Amino acid sequence: MNANTVSEIITGILILTGTLFCLFSAFGMIRLPDVYTRSHAATKSTTLGVLCTLFGAFLYFWINDGYVSIRLLLGIFFVFLTAPVAGHLICRAAYVTNVEIVQDASKVYVKESDSD
């Protein structure tokens, strides 16, 4: 096994991990009951997913081609900077406008299934 094969395996694992985190975030956005938990799913796992994907792409081009992409580094920086701030602002706006927190999510799902 040479260095290129090892680097391709590492970047593949990073990109696959990032994709799975984004998929989990999408499931969280669909399944979670209120704006606070949805915001948590959207910011935490999506941020980690996008960072893993971009970092995997950055490592691939850096190791295999010797190309350092400033665009990928800026993408990593701005996602890491803006996504948590946006999630905080969404939760803060929901709190200021008195959006209720779901106390027991199982009751919400029971009510939805009873109405069908």
pTM: 0.79
Mean pLDDT of the chain: 88
Give me the mean pLDDT over the 5-17 stretch: 94
DSSP 36-96: HHHHHIIIIIHHHHHHHHHHHHHHHIIIII----HHHHHHHHHHHHHHHHHHHHHHHHHHH
pLDDT tens-digit series, residues 83-109:
999 999 999 999 999 988 887 766 655
Task: Determine the 3-state secondary structure of 111 from DSSP.
Answer: helix
Host domain of residue 64: 3-115
Token pair for residue 48? 């980690």
CB 47 within 8 A of CB 80: yes
CA distance 62 to 33: 42
Q: How high is the pLDDT of residue 104?
A: 74
Give me the mean pLDDT over the 25-40 stretch: 90
Inter-helix orientation angle 46-60/70-96, to 10°: 180
Q: How high is the pLDDT of residue 71?
A: 93
* 56 pLDDT above the threshold of 90: yes
- Calculate what percentage of the chain has a pLDDT beyond 70: 90
CA distance 41 to 31: 10
Task: Determine the 3-state secondary structure of 34 from DSSP.
Answer: coil
| Total domain count, the chain | 1
